[in-house]
């Protein structure tokens, strides 16, 4: 025992997580952090928070909001500190060693969380505060208390000892399976890149330009069969085991299936509401998709007549993007390779920042002396109109083998107020997989990548502009089907002519994007929406159908997926945006399980909200500051619909999504 304490003392002297960070603006000292630092810091962090919670339990004073709820919200500072770095780096700059560390850390953290929310003595104090008169609490405090109380209920505090023990085992195994799923997918995606010469992030763009039909089919199958090849990286067994455990967990907690359990405290409320919502969108999307296929078939028929494609050929999934691009060029004379010349990465990012400056009065300044986790990263100081520091945004935009596919925002440091009332400044990261610079050109982005940069920065604004008191309510700590509103509404400015004029400059000549090209981009904005909406909606429905299962006995993953696609009316030329074996949102983590619909759900809100901007002016200061104060600053300090209606002044119009996508 003495030796163990001696080791901890040694770690205290050397481990950067166990010291104060004397870095610019609270950015983690990435140059000092080594892989050897993570696990010791995780273990010390768990021990510290365990002691902090025991101190709450042992407090002889009657439980109240400050000595129980606030005390818990402020606990676990070290564990938060190391977890935020570890899990962010493992997603964006992984290695075999780091993967092994995460695999060891996850069960420890899962067990620790279970020990907190299955602790009856701790729950009794929280319950006493929850059942007491709450009239003296402000709304953020009431929301914090409600969410904390429900966390105990949702984590099985009411179960008997044997059931709690089983629930802990389930949670631990689920944490491990999620890591295996994600690591398998990363390996499969890297294998795809090795075979075809481009990353999965560039799949859609490549499929639009590959003329060789046999090669298109090969690329399509390589992409769509990731995790489904019967090799050691196959994820089908992982999918079934994850669902088996989630079903068992839901039933232990008193629900018929995981979807009922997950949705009971979300905006949608229940699976039936989500199913009906998605069915209406799918019907509209497939009606348009059938028109798109008919248009593409006419172009293919021309290729058949020219002897390029065999007689009798019809549009297949691997043809969709290629012939859609042919139709788009013919209909709108829009050549994306020409448009990309105006979308130099640095200029687009300046446009994203400038757009936020015009809307919310905030400013951005490069930080040149910060040591970041990868040389491709850049950091910027964010200040308010009065010059006060808001926080830091780090951008990490290029693909690499150590980074998972996709784009996301996370926190290295979250905003909140400490015990002395000091505002802790957030450190946010936006991660992407955009086109890299080439030997003869800078990084030039596609239209979709520009939109994605605006999207992820909307999430960043949610984290940066947060003005909450407590960690558990700040920033993006909101219901899953509300979290996409700030990101998706930010996309709406990306291709407005007034905004394009601030960032879309030809990378060689410096000329601003010409009006006629802007008109083509805007005219083509709703092109191919049958496909775009359909594949997104299909993935959302697939997610729901997995989580509405009450058993996986006898289920074959591929057969189940095929059946679900047929029942939803998905045409044969389209597959879900994510097939089950590479659906990392729902199987690589639990973040979007029975929640992938939230992108479309939040789009109703974002399109309805942007209609107000259109009415008032897209840079109307009063409207922008209302959105900042009522949505971006509020985090989870109030129910989402209350926040939305404070901004909008009315319930959202459900038709806004279909109108914006040109489907109504």
pLDDT per position as a tens digit, 259-310: 999 999 999 999 999 999 999 999 999 999 999 999 999 999 999 999 999 9
Please answer whether residues 290 and 531 qualify as being in contact, where contact means their C-beta atoms are separated by less than 8 angstroms.
Answer: no
430-489 pLDDT, tens digit each: 999 999 999 999 999 999 999 999 999 999 999 999 999 999 999 999 998 899 999 999
Q: Decide: 631 and 512 in contact? Cβ < 8 Å.
A: no
User: Per 3-state DSSP, what percentage of the chain is helix, strand, and coil (rounded to 5)?
Assistant: 60, 5, 35
State how far Cα 228 lies from the chain centre: 24
7 has pLDDT over 70: no
DSSP string spanning 402-440?
TS-SS-EEEEEE--EE-TT--EEPPEEEEE--PPPP-SS
Residues with Cβ within 8 Å of residue 624, at least 6 apart in sequence: 359, 360, 613
Do strands 427-431 and 408-413 pair parallel, antiparallel, or not at all (unpaired)?
Answer: antiparallel
pLDDT of residue 14: 86
User: Quick one: which of 659, 618, 652, 655 has its CA closest to 526?
Assistant: 659
What pLDDT sits at residue 11? 42
Neighbours of 361 (CB within 10 A): 15
Q: 210: part of which helix (H) or strand (E)?
A: none
Give Cα separations from 536 to 282, 320, 489, 664 (angstroms): 9, 15, 17, 18
Q: List, as one string, the DSSP characters of 302-348.
A: HHHHTTSS-TT----GGGHHHHHHHHHHHHH---HHHHHTT-BHHHH
Integer angstrom CA distances of residue 597 from 64, 163, 517, 603: 38, 31, 33, 10
Q: Which two tokens stand for residue 434?
A: 């955009």
Report whether 122 contacts 116 (CB < 8 A): yes
Residue 13's pLDDT is 58
Place of tokens 């209609």: 611
The predicted structure's pLDDT at residue 664: 83
d(CA 594, CA 292) in angstroms, rounded, equals: 29
Residues in the chain: 664
The question of whether 248 is a catalytic residue gets the answer no
Using an 8 Å Cβ cutoff, are 488 and 452 in contact? no
**Positive/negative CA dihedral, 566, 570, 571, 575:** negative
Topology agreement, domain 2-158 and domain 207-325+533-595 = yes
Residue 569 phi, psi dihedral angles, 5° rounding: 85, 20
| Residue carrying the six token digits 């008191």 | 469
CA distance 580 to 552: 14
What confidence score (pLDDT) does residue 9 get?
Answer: 38
Q: Can you give the pLDDT at residue 405? A: 86
Residue 150: name the closest of 272, 264, 274 by CA.
Answer: 264
Domain ranges of the chain: 2-158, 207-325+533-595, 340-525
pLDDT tens for residues 421-433?
A: 999 999 999 999 9
Phi, psi of 423 (to 5 degrees): -85, 115
8-state DSSP, 63:
P
Provide the whole-model pTM.
0.91
Tokens 């629900």 -> residue: 255
Cα separation, 95 vs 53, in Å, equals 34
Collapse the DSSP code of 252 into the 3-class scheme (helix H, G, I; strand E, B; otherwise coil) and give the result.
Answer: helix
- Number of helices (H) and strands (E) in the chain: give both, helices first: 27, 7
Which one of the listed residues 260, 325, 456, 484 is annotated catalytic? 456
The neighbour count for residue 6, using CB atoms within 10 Å, is 10
Place of tokens 């069969």: 225
Q: Which fold has domain 2-158?
A: 1.10.1370
CATH architecture of the domain 340-525 equals Orthogonal Bundle (1.10)
pLDDT value of residue 595: 95
At 474 the three-state DSSP class reads: coil
pLDDT digits (tens, 9 = 90+) for 580-607: 999 999 999 768 999 999 999 999 999 9
The arithmetic mean of pLDDT across residues 2-23, rounded, is 64
pLDDT at 413 over 70: yes
Contact 149, 65 (CB under 8 A): no
Residues 315 and 298: their CA atoms lie apart, in Å, by 10
Q: CA 272 → CA 268, 278, 322, 570, distances in Å? A: 9, 10, 37, 20
- Its CATH class, for the domain covering 207-325+533-595, is mainly alpha
Give the per-residue pLDDT at 2. Answer: 29
Burial grade of 231 (CB within 10 A; 0-12, 13-18, 19 or more): exposed
How much is the pLDDT for 4? 34
Model confidence over 35-87: pLDDT tens digits?
999 999 999 999 999 999 999 999 999 999 999 999 999 999 999 999 999 99
Distance between first and last Cα of the chain: 70
Question: Residue 120 corresponds to which tokens in the numbers above?
Answer: 């009856």
Q: Which of 551, 536, 540 is nearest to 595 (CA)?
A: 540
């Amino acid at each position: 025992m003495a030796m163990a304490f001696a080791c901890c003392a040694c770690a205290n002297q050397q481990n950067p997580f166990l010291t104060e960070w004397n870095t610019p603006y609270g950015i983690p000292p990435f140059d000092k952090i080594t892989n050897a630092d993570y696990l010791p810091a995780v273990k010390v962090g768990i021990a510290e928070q365990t002691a902090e919670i025991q101190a709450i339990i042992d407090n002889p004073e009657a439980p109240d909001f400050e000595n129980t709820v606030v005390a818990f919200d402020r606990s676990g500072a070290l564990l938060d500190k190391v977890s935020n770095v570890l899990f962010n780096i493992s997603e964006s700059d992984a290695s075999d060693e780091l993967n092994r560390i995460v695999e060891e850390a996850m069960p420890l953290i899962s067990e620790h969380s279970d020990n907190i929310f299955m602790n009856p003595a701790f729950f009794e104090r929280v319950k006493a505060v929850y059942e007491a008169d709450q009239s003296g609490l402000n709304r953020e405090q009431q929301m914090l208390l409600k969410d904390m109380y429900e966390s105990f209920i949702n984590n099985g505090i009411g179960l008997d000892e044997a059931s709690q023990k089983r629930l802990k085992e389930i949670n631990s195994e689920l944490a491990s399976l999620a890591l295996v799923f994600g690591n398998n997918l990363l390996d499969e995606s890297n294998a795809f890149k090795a075979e075809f010469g481009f990353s999965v992030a560039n799949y859609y763009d490549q499929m639009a330009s590959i003329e060789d039909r046999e090669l298109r089919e090969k690329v399509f199958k390589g992409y769509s069969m990731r995790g489904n090849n019967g090799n050691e990286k196959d994820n089908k067994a992982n999918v079934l085991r994850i669902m088996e455990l989630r079903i068992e967990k839901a039933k232990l907690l008193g629900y018929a299936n995981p979807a009922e359990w997950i949705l009971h405290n979300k905006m949608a409320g229940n699976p039936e509401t989500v199913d009906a919502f998605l069915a209406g969108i799918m019907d509209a999307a497939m009606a348009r998709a059938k028109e798109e296929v008919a248009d593409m078939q006419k172009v293919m028929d021309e290729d058949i007549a020219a002897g390029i494609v065999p007689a009798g050929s019809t549009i297949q999934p691997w043809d969709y993007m290629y012939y859609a691009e042919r139709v788009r060029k013919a209909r709108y004379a829009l050549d994306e390779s020409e448009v990309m010349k105006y979308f130099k990465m640095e200029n687009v990012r300046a446009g994203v920042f400038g757009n936020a400056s015009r809307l919310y009065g905030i400013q951005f300044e490069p930080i040149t002396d910060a040591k970041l986790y990868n040389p491709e990263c850049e950091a910027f100081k964010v200040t308010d109109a009065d010059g006060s520091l808001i926080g830091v945004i780090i951008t990490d935009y290029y693909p690499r083998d150590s980074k998972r596919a996709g784009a996301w925002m996370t926190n290295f440091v979250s905003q909140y107020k400490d015990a002395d009332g000091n505002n802790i400044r957030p450190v946010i990261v936006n991660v992407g997989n955009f086109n890299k610079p080439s030997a003869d050109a800078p990084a030039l982005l596609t239209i979709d990548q520009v939109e994605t940069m605006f999207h992820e920065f909307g999430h960043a604004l949610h984290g940066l502009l947060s003005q909450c008191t407590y960690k558990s309510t700040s920033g993006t700590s909101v219901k899953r089907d509300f979290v996409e509103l700030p990101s998706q509404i930010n996309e709406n400015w990306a291709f407005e002519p007034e905004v394009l004029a601030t960032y879309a400059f030809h990378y060689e000549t410096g000329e601003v994007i010409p009006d006629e090209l802007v008109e083509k981009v805007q005219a083509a904005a709703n092109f191919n929406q049958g496909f775009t909406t359909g594949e997104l909606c299909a993935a959302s429905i697939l997610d729901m159908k997995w989580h509405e299962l009450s058993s996986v006995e006898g289920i074959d993953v591929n057969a189940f997926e095929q059946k679900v696609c047929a029942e939803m009316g998905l045409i044969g030329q389209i597959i879900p945006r994510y097939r089950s074996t590479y659906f990392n949102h729902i199987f690589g983590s639990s973040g979007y399980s029975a929640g992938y619909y939230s992108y479309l759900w939040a789009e109703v809100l974002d399109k309805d909200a942007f209609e107000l901007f259109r009415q008032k002016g897209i840079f109307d200061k009063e409207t922008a500051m209302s959105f900042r104060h009522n949505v971006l600053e509020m985090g989870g300090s109030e129910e989402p619909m209350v926040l939305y209606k404070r901004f909008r002044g009315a319930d959202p119009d459900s038709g806004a999504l279909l109108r914006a996508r040109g489907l109504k």
